[in-house]
A and B are shown apart, each in its own frame.
Chain A
Amino acid sequence: MAPAVQSSMRNALPPPSERSTVLGWLRKNLFDGWFNSALTVVALGLILALLRPLFNWTFNTARWEVIPANINLIMRGQYPPEQAIRLWVVLFLLAFVIGFAWAANTKTIRGELITLFAIPLLLMLVPFFDGGIRLNLLIIEAAGLVGYGIGRFVPEKRSNLGVWALLIYAVVMLVILRGGSGETGLWAGVPTNLWGGLLLSLLLAVFGIAISFPLGVLLALGRQSKLPAIRMVSVLYIEFIRGVPLISLLFMAQVMLQLFLPDGFPTIDRALRALAAVTLFSAAYTAENVRGGLQSIPKGQYEAADAMGLSTFQSMYFIILPQALRAVIPVLVGQFIGLFKDTSLVALVGLFDLLGIARTILGNPNWLGTHQEVYAFIGLLYWIFSYMMSYTSRRIEASLAVGTR
């Protein structure tokens, strides 16, 4: 370093050209010295060796017809086809609520929102969707726009209306999905053991996240508490749950939960038991992540809040938690992605989520030997949702400008 600085001072060369050419880029990024050039060649070889068979399989060998033939199963499991309209209604309402909540929270249109609105339109381009599906997608788009339009009239100080709308939506959605007690008709009851596929995976993930998050925050606060008994209870819970595999909790929930309850207690359905296990599991991890955030808050913040005369609750709610949570957004999102992926474990206790339904399809003699195609497709579905979550988290992180050094 040192000699280079001296010589450049002596010779005072003109600054290097900022203009980047293709060749310049190549030299800088790929052929910078013999070592880098060798690496580039090896990497190229590796990519070709992997991509060639992959392309060949994707476009020649793979029997992709198994996917369109079973797309309904993959999307909604055994949910009765004649009631499928209810699922669409749920989606219409979702689009409406998202549009409304978004508009209620921010009055400016952002890139993410445009992306969101583009999704139904893009889905309409999928080749094997028929006219009915396309029409429904169009209604989704319209519902979203209407929701956005109404949301714009929400006054600035009522922006938490959006959150309330989402909460109400969660309840309404469950009611619509579950239906009444009848056997037939549009409002027939659909027991949860018929919910399946992507529908079940997403429901488990969304409710798991929504319930485990507040629980985890409480546990984290409990672990930081000055009161020894509360701290102890939190630590015991967190360490126990984090010490055992999720699958053991899932099995336990299926086998033993009923034992814990008194005789004659109505049987809790399997999906709910799985949800309970996933939620309790995730809460312990959320707690540890939030604790990381709490520890990153300098002591001065606590002291300042005390000096201002805020109560413990006030100082937590207004001063500490907002900062602590913001600091751990990326970690939390990572953990929520983990939760979404972990919902696949419910397939092992006999539920028909994405993975479970994939195994059912593969059990069908018509589709023998299509493991690669089916698993690749549901892997893609998992990937898309997980990647969307991590992408969003990166955008939030960037817009809050945390994590920059």
Chain B
Amino acid sequence: MQKIAASQATPPFYRDERVLGVISQIVVVGLVVGLLGYFYNNMISALREQLGVAIDYGFLRSTAGFDIGEGLIEYSRASTYLQALVVGLLNTFQVAVLGIFFATLLGVLIGVMRLSTNFLVNRIAAVYIDIFRNIPLLLLLIFWAQAVFFKLPRVQEAIIFPGPTFLSNRGMAIPWGVPTESWPTYRIVLIVGLILAYVVARLLKEQGKRTGRMPLLTLWFLVTFVGVAIVGWFALPQPLTLTTPELVGFNTQGGRVFSQQFMALVSGLIIYTAAFIAETVRAGIQSVSKGQREAATALGLTPFQTLRLIIFPQALRVIIPPLTSQYLNLTKNSSLAIAVGYPDLFAVGSTTLNQTGRAIEVFSLIMGVYLFFSLTTSFFMNIYNQRIKLVER
């Protein structure tokens, strides 16, 4: 006993936690910095030997000289590498936004189906989830591209859905609105509508706090916005004209055409991610304990009120963090576009790499972009998490 007490009074320096802490930190940081520095040095000298210059982003301004299948902005062979990469970035964006939107719809639908008391509906959702969570996304994408979309009939024998929507080996052509002269004005009307809707919602919220009867904020927000949008649509001379695709010779004309590669990539991402979102939604709703629902009923809340005021807010707390990471996963997974031949950021980057041999520069740009998205998202998620976290002591 005495021995222990003595050693606790004056611990030798090699057992002093503060000294150990400082030493271990110095060792770890020294190791990491040393290793990275060593790698960097090796890399620089190897690059000097191979390419003459170590690191140089100047190549971004030279002519790319390769074609890109599709893009949202003007691009030709004569454009620069930088422009090529921007085309890729916008393509990644397009895939991510559409993918996230539809994957959320499908995922929530299947997640709710999974909780259905109807045996068949429940089973269908369970089978869907079990199948798509357990096969690799890359396999799904390649299957979808090579076994489905690339095997579609020629344009002349296109599968026509009502709409009309043409599905053929030229991709999917759908009706699409083409902007007229009044479109820029209408865009301003939409923005005004959005601001107005926000103001209305805020005012109603204030009123709700005063009177103690909270109106349906989201509903009023939407009503205001849609109202302004409709009024604007009829007040201005048709901001958009509808063009429908039609068969002309060996191709379709009019409407908007989504390429096979795009369709394969987006549909694969949607189907795969929806399975994960469904599980997230199911787990979130199930995480709200039964007592909450019973207590709400006991207080005399209607089923709708129970859902809106009791179940949803608590389920969302569980759902939102994993849901965000699913969105990020989808965005990062869109880099598999390279397997189906869709020119996203990564695919364009890898072509650039093949042509210029500038591995460091290309990889740093690509990774920087993805990292930027992820870090901004997780920064906001962390703030959100801090706010909704249950506080312990």
Contacts of A227 in B (CB 8 A): 21, 24-25
Cβ of B367 and Cβ of A32 under 8 Å apart? no
Contacts of B60 in A (CB 8 A): none
Contact of A255 among B26, B120, B359, B375 (CB under 8 A): B359
Q: With A47-B120, A47-B124, A244-B370 in contact, do A255 and B353 touch (Cβ < 8 Å)?
A: yes
Q: With A244-B371, A255-B353 in contact, do A383 and B135 touch (Cβ < 8 Å)?
A: yes
Q: With A260-B39, A379-B135 in contact, do A348 and B338 touch (Cβ < 8 Å)?
A: yes
- Chain A CB within 8 A of B130 CB: yes
Cβ of A40 and Cβ of B118 under 8 Å apart? yes
Contacts of B374 in A (CB 8 A): 239, 242-244
Give chain B nearest CB distance to A321 CB in angstroms. 19
**Contact indicator per residue, chain B 141-155, by CB within 8 Å of chain A (1) or not (0):** 011001100010000
With both beta carbons as reference points, the residue of chain A lying nearest to B322 in the complex is identified as A331
Contact of B143 among A251, A337, A375 (CB under 8 A): A375
Cβ of B121 and Cβ of A39 under 8 Å apart? yes
Cβ of A251 and Cβ of B363 under 8 Å apart? yes
Chain A, interface SS category: helix
Q: Which of B341-393 contact A (CB under 8 A)?
A: 346, 350, 353, 359-360, 363, 366-367, 370-371, 373-375, 378, 392-393
With both beta carbons as reference points, the residue of chain B lying nearest to A239 in the complex is identified as B375
Count of chain B residues with a beta carbon within 8 Å of a chain A beta carbon = 61
Contacts of A347 in B (CB 8 A): 138
Cβ of B124 and Cβ of A259 under 8 Å apart? no
Cβ of B139 and Cβ of A355 under 8 Å apart? yes
With both beta carbons as reference points, the residue of chain A lying nearest to B360 in the complex is identified as A256
Contacts of A40 in B (CB 8 A): 118, 120-121
Tell me, in angstroms, the Cα distance from A345 to B139 when the chains sit together.
Answer: 9
Segment of B167-175, B208-216, B247-255, B328-336 engaged in the interface with chain A: B328-336
Tell me, in angstroms, the Cα distance from A219 to B28 when the chains sit together.
Answer: 12
Cβ of B134 and Cβ of A378 under 8 Å apart? no
- Chain A CB within 8 A of B289 CB: yes
Contact of B138 among A47, A260, A348 (CB under 8 A): A348
- Chain A CB within 8 A of B217 CB: no
- Chain B CB within 8 A of A325 CB: no
Cβ of A229 and Cβ of B29 under 8 Å apart? yes
Cβ of B25 and Cβ of A355 under 8 Å apart? no
Chain B, interface SS category: helix
Cβ of B131 and Cβ of A383 under 8 Å apart? yes
With both beta carbons as reference points, the residue of chain A lying nearest to B140 in the complex is identified as A379
With both beta carbons as reference points, the residue of chain A lying nearest to B279 in the complex is identified as A334
Give chain B nearest CB distance to A387 CB in angstroms. 5
- Chain B CB within 8 A of A371 CB: yes
CB within 8 Å: A-B pair count: 161
Give chain A nearest CB distance to B367 CB in angstroms. 5
Contacts of B359 in A (CB 8 A): 252, 255-256, 259
- Chain A CB within 8 A of B32 CB: yes
Contacts of B42 in A (CB 8 A): 259-263
Tell me, in angstroms, the Cα distance from A46 to B375 when the chains sit together.
Answer: 41
Cβ of A245 and Cβ of B138 under 8 Å apart? no
Tell me, in angstroms, the Cα distance from A192 to B288 when the chains sit together.
Answer: 50
- Chain B CB within 8 A of A106 CB: no
Tell me, in angstroms, the Cα distance from A256 to B335 when the chains sit together.
Answer: 19
Give chain A nearest CB distance to B120 CB in angstroms. 4
Cβ of A263 and Cβ of B46 under 8 Å apart? yes
Q: Which of B313-341 contact A (CB under 8 A)?
A: 332-333, 335-336, 338-339
Give chain B nearest CB distance to A368 CB in angstroms. 12
Cβ of B363 and Cβ of A256 under 8 Å apart? yes
- Chain A CB within 8 A of B47 CB: yes
- Chain B CB within 8 A of A121 CB: no
- Chain A CB within 8 A of B69 CB: no
**Contact indicator per residue, chain B 122-134, by CB within 8 Å of chain A (1) or not (0):** 0010000011011
With both beta carbons as reference points, the residue of chain B lying nearest to A247 in the complex is identified as B335
Contacts of A405 in B (CB 8 A): 289
Q: With A259-B42, A263-B46, A382-B136 in contact, do A252 and B363 touch (Cβ < 8 Å)?
A: yes
Cβ of B135 and Cβ of A386 under 8 Å apart? yes
Q: Which of B244-297 contact A (CB under 8 A)?
A: 289, 297
- Chain A CB within 8 A of B14 CB: no
Give chain A nearest CB distance to B4 CB in angstroms. 9
- Chain A CB within 8 A of B105 CB: no
Contact of A247 among B21, B26, B131, B346 (CB under 8 A): B346
Cβ of A229 and Cβ of B28 under 8 Å apart? yes
- Chain B CB within 8 A of A341 CB: yes
Give chain B nearest CB distance to A300 CB in angstroms. 10
**Contact indicator per residue, chain A 357-401, by CB within 8 Å of chain B (1) or not (0):** 001001000000001100110110011001100100000000000
Tell me, in angstroms, the Cα distance from A26 to B121 when the chains sit together.
Answer: 13
Tell me, in angstroms, the Cα distance from A229 to B26 when the chains sit together.
Answer: 8
Tell me, in angstroms, the Cα distance from A405 to B287 when the chains sit together.
Answer: 9
With both beta carbons as reference points, the residue of chain B lying nearest to A337 in the complex is identified as B134
Tell me, in angstroms, the Cα distance from A390 to B135 when the chains sit together.
Answer: 12
Contacts of A125 in B (CB 8 A): none
Contacts of B196 in A (CB 8 A): none
Contact of B370 among A29, A233, A248 (CB under 8 A): A248
- Chain A CB within 8 A of B119 CB: yes
- Chain B CB within 8 A of A266 CB: no
Cβ of A30 and Cβ of B367 under 8 Å apart? no
Cβ of B120 and Cβ of A43 under 8 Å apart? yes
Contacts of A345 in B (CB 8 A): 138, 336
With both beta carbons as reference points, the residue of chain A lying nearest to B286 in the complex is identified as A405
Give chain B nearest CB distance to A78 CB in angstroms. 21
**Contact indicator per residue, chain B 25-62, by CB within 8 Å of chain A (1) or not (0):** 11011001000000100110111000000000000000
- Chain A CB within 8 A of B117 CB: yes
Q: Which of B170-205 contact A (CB under 8 A)?
A: none
**Contact indicator per residue, chain A 29-43, by CB within 8 Å of chain B (1) or not (0):** 110100010011001
Contacts of B25 in A (CB 8 A): 227-230
Tell me, in angstroms, the Cα distance from A188 to B146 when the chains sit together.
Answer: 38
Contacts of B367 in A (CB 8 A): 243-244, 248
Contacts of B117 in A (CB 8 A): 29, 32, 36
Give chain A nearest CB distance to B145 CB in angstroms. 9
Cβ of B346 and Cβ of A341 under 8 Å apart? no
With both beta carbons as reference points, the residue of chain B lying nearest to A375 in the complex is identified as B143
Cβ of A371 and Cβ of B335 under 8 Å apart? no
User: Which 10 residue pairs spanning A and B have beta carbons closest together?
Assistant: A243-B374, A386-B134, A341-B136, A29-B119, A229-B25, A243-B371, A260-B39, A344-B136, A43-B120, A245-B332
Show 6 A/B contacts (Cβ-Cβ < 8 Å), sorted by A: A30-B118, A47-B124, A227-B24, A263-B46, A298-B392, A337-B133
Chain B residues within 8 Å of A, Cβ to Cβ: 17, 21, 24-26, 28-29, 32, 39, 42-43, 45-47, 116-121, 124, 130-131, 133-140, 142-143, 146-147, 151, 289, 297-298, 332-333, 335-336, 338-339, 346, 350, 353, 359-360, 363, 366-367, 370-371, 373-375, 378, 392-393
14 further A-B pairs in the complex, CB-CB below 8 A; given A47-B124, A245-B335: A30-B118, A32-B117, A39-B121, A40-B121, A227-B25, A233-B32, A240-B371, A243-B374, A244-B374, A256-B359, A259-B46, A263-B45, A299-B392, A347-B138
